Structure 1
Amino acid sequence: MEEVYKIKKATYHLWTFTVSKLISTFGAQVYSFAISFYILQMTGSATSFATNLICSILPRTLISPFTGYAADRYSRKKIVIIAQIGTTLAIGGLLIIILSSGLSLGAIYATTCILSITSTFSGVTFTSSITGLVDKERIQRAMSLNQMSISFASIGSPAVGGLLYGTVSMPVFLILYMAASSIAVILESTMNFNLFANRKKDDNAEQKESMWQSMRAGIHYLKLQPIVMSMIWIGLLVNFLFGAFEVGYSFILIEKLKMSSIHFGLTEGAFAFGMLLLSIYLTVRKEVRFPFLLSKRGIIGMGITMAGVGFPLLVSLSYNIVFAYYMFIMFGFGLLVIIVNTPLQVMMQKLIDDDFKGRVFSILETMAMALMPLGMVIYGFMYDIFPAQWILFLSSALLIGVVLFLARPSVIRQVHPELRGVKGVKNHTESFS
């Protein structure tokens, strides 16, 4: 009887988790769109716009290690709810300032910093709680629904943000955001974060262990998990090398190929649509048998796609063909991102102990956030000096080389022992149908 109750509750969690994530992600992206538009319209300054971006990225990078410690030591349900309440109060504070003295850049920057901190606490803690909210058989579905929420928000938020910004005042917009955030708080308060959790609590040990000792314990735990470390190194290097794509894609389409803003937006929409489509598919299909092997092949596909971004610079094509080509490239890239991310996320959820999930995921996020701006800065300088297509071709080759080395057949067999008897892992076919 208890097992039936748990399964029903897990099904409830799947949908409350999805709706809550959709509200928070959609709201944050619509807010970001509207505030960015407001800053540029009010000041016309790229520096002011960039400062707001820094207020979003820097606090997230600095606070991530502490969020992992908190997620592993304290009640994850309380952290998620408090973080969402913090989001609601921050928006409420900005609303009060607007009504009393008008909107200022200082108030926007302060609100962006607070929202960055609360979203980091909520994001890391929610990710650490997946295995406590749903049964093991549906972890892939939960991760796919999470990706689906992000993809849907990416597609819809610019349209909704533009519509709201043009039709309602900023106070009305903030009130709508507060209402949505309050609904998310109510949904999260009905969830049981310990339904399937396997956390080994030792109150005496917790009292003796300081925050720094706890964080060191998380790093020590990672060192003892070679499979997880392999996945993390692959993720970090891929993240860094994809700075070539992040910077180069916009540079090539806007600066080199002179694509219109409408068509450029449609190509980015194709990327989000590809992510959404495959996320929906993964919610209904059975769990991937060999996730590490599939992700390896997906990353190789991403490397080839990245090189393909520079191809139109080598040949003369009509504007319409170039537009159609990049629509296809970005749609395929969106599919590949989900093929790579979702199976790896499911695998990490199952491999990492519940007591260390928060610290491991926060360490991963901190390193990724640190490497992302570094990659963008380095590639930004390179695109000003070298031909764009050759930067993409070289980065693509490095990416494929890194993956072939770090995910070589011997590592694949270590991750998936059932493939040890298979002759030639590289020729083994992963069913994705």
Structure 2
Amino acid sequence: MDGKLKYKKSTYHLYTFLVSKMIGSLGSSVYTFGISMYILSMTGSSLSFATNLLFSIVPRTIISPIAGLIGDKVPRKWLVLGGQAGVILTVSILLLYTWTAGLSLPAIYVATLFNSIFSSFSSVAFSASISNLVDEERLQKAMSFNQLSLSVSGIGGPIVGGMLFGFASMEVFLLVFISAAIITLLLESTMNFTLYKKPVVASAQKETMLQSFKAGFVYLKTKPVVRAILWTALWLNLFFTCLSVGIAFVLLTNLKFQPQLIGFIEAAAAIGMLITAIYLATRSNLKFPLVVVKRSTLLMAISVILVAVPLLFSWSNTVNFIYYLVLMFVAGGFGVTTNTPIGVIMQTSVDEEYKGRVFGIVEMMAMSMMPLGTLIYGVLYDIIPAQYVLIVSGTILIAIVLILLRGSVIRMAHPELEDKRKMNILEEVEG
């Protein structure tokens, strides 16, 4: 395929990727909202809600590295489409069960379990394939489109779900999700997952699955920058849970905000994500992406500390509302300026034959910290004043970023910065 045709196909992938991700994420967000509200209204139990959450998180944590390993051995398009088909089949069976026997809690748990397993294969394989779908010059735009779709679903999912939940049955929620998943499957089936795939040197030695899995970790040892990003992401996911668990707790329990106002504040973060994703999608590639990651994560850590400020002073409800509205809007933007460059670095730094395993490890590390962080902070907020939890967590986050993304790591990622520094020193000496 000549250059013009490849570029044209890459453009098609870019916008098909945006539409498919947006539809799929929105459908999933509406479904998740409806199921969550159904469980809480049916049982009135936060334990039942948390159990469904565990059935979603734990399988992804276990399956992701296996999905990545398989993605390095078989065509990733098969895994993407197969995983998506598995999700459609799972929710379709749940719909049929609901029509015949009525929706029940065990049926929801089973559907959530299989949904999580199938979506793990699809998600990991797709993430590892982005650099094969789009030319390197537009990788930042592709990663920004991914953040854009997540922000749209974050805003639209609860709105659409809230409108439907008042007067529509759960079957409608299931049909919305199935319809969105089918459209996503059809769009992804038109993509060429090997358009920009680099040739892979075949190994002369036949590896077992265990040897191949270990090879992924051995490979990470040869990539200090990628390894630093992974460890940073691991600890950030643990300590940033203080915000996802604590913001609603602070607003509702400490400051006595109405639920409607809390909804506006949480939506502000999604709007901040949306605007920042659009900005990054329209601008040229960042020159030093890891520098941007370090600065934005430091600002996000400072944002965690700033959440505690109204708890230390007696401000009016109006001032508090405006303060948190602005803070969450900015924090949402920082999240995009962290995740987008990380995505670009991972896509360009990891060799093709290891991408599946590395992205599987990334997802495993990210997902494993969520239940642990939720448990830890759920206990801490009950026994320690929220302002102290937030200030200490924010301080730890700043230390993590400064240690794991220290200057030597930045210079390894961007050697030209070291050359520039040496030139400045030389000019100073000569001058």
TM-score range, shorter chain: over 0.9
SS of the residue corresponding to residue 355 of structure 1 reads: helix
Q: What is the match of residue 354 of structure 2? A: 356
Quick check: 323-332 or 108-117, which moved more? 108-117
Structure 1 residue corresponding to 2:207, chosen from 202, 206, 209: 209
d(CA) in 1 for partners of 2:4, 2:358: 32
Unaligned 5+ segments in structure 1 are 426-433
The alpha-carbon deviation at position 199 of structure 1 amounts to: 4.4
State the one-letter code of the partner of 2:124: V
The alpha-carbon deviation at position 391 of structure 1 amounts to: 1.8
1:106-141 CA-partner distances (Å, limit 9, x unpaired): 111111111111221111111100010000000000
Identical residues among aligned pairs (%): 48
Q: What is the match of residue 246 of structure 2? A: 248
Q: What is the match of residue 259 of structure 1? A: 257
1:1-43 CA-partner distances (Å, limit 9, x unpaired): 7110000000000111111111221111111111111112222
Q: What is the match of residue 159 of structure 2? A: 159
The alpha-carbon deviation at position 227 of structure 1 amounts to: 1.0
Number of residue pairs matched by the alignment: 423
Q: What is the match of residue 392 of structure 1? A: 390
Q: What is the match of residue 21 of structure 1? A: 21
Q: What is the match of residue 91 of structure 2? A: 91
State the one-letter code of the partner of 1:42: M
1:219-255 CA-partner distances (Å, limit 9, x unpaired): 0000111111111111112112212222222221111
1:180-223 CA-partner distances (Å, limit 9, x unpaired): 22111111111000000114163865xx2221111101000001
Across the aligned residues of Structure 1 and Structure 2, the Cα RMSD in angstroms comes to 1.6
Q: What is the match of residue 426 of structure 2? A: none
SS of the residue corresponding to residue 73 of structure 1 reads: coil
Unaligned 5+ segments in structure 2 are 424-431
Q: What is the match of residue 372 of structure 2? A: 374
Structure 1 residue corresponding to 2:235, chosen from 218, 234, 237: 237
- CA contact 2:301–2:394 (8 Å) conserved in 1: yes
SS of the residue corresponding to residue 286 of structure 1 reads: coil
For 1:44-63, list aligned pairs within 5 A. Answer: 44-63=44-63
State the one-letter code of the partner of 1:80: V
The alpha-carbon deviation at position 424 of structure 1 amounts to: 9.3
TM-score w.r.t. the length of structure 1 is: 0.94
State the one-letter code of the partner of 1:291: P
In the superposition, relative to structure 1, how do residues 132 and 316 fare at CA in structure 2: closer, same or farther (>3 Å)? same
The alpha-carbon deviation at position 263 of structure 1 amounts to: 0.5
Quick check: 143-152 or 167-176, which moved more? 167-176
TM-score w.r.t. the length of structure 2 is: 0.95
1:135-187 CA-partner distances (Å, limit 9, x unpaired): 00000000000110001000000011122223333223323322222111111
State the one-letter code of the partner of 1:406: L
The alpha-carbon deviation at position 62 of structure 1 amounts to: 1.4
d(CA) in 1 for partners of 2:325, 2:293: 23
Q: What is the match of residue 120 of structure 1? A: 120
Q: What is the match of residue 183 of structure 1? A: 183
SS of the residue corresponding to residue 23 of structure 1 reads: helix
d(CA) in 2 for partners of 1:410, 1:424: 14
Q: What is the match of residue 80 of structure 2? A: 80
Q: What is the match of residue 430 of structure 1? A: none
- CA contact 2:132–2:194 (8 Å) conserved in 1: yes
1:50-104 CA-partner distances (Å, limit 9, x unpaired): 2111111111111111111111111111111111111111111011111111111
- CA contact 2:151–2:271 (8 Å) conserved in 1: yes
d(CA) in 1 for partners of 2:240, 2:170: 36
d(CA) in 2 for partners of 1:283, 1:46: 39
Are residue 320 (structure 1) and residue 318 (structure 2) matched? yes
The alpha-carbon deviation at position 282 of structure 1 amounts to: 0.8
State the one-letter code of the partner of 1:152: V
Are residue 109 (structure 1) and residue 123 (structure 2) matched? no
d(CA) in 2 for partners of 1:199, 1:79: 20
State the one-letter code of the partner of 1:44: G
1:353-392 CA-partner distances (Å, limit 9, x unpaired): 1111111111121122112222222222222222221221
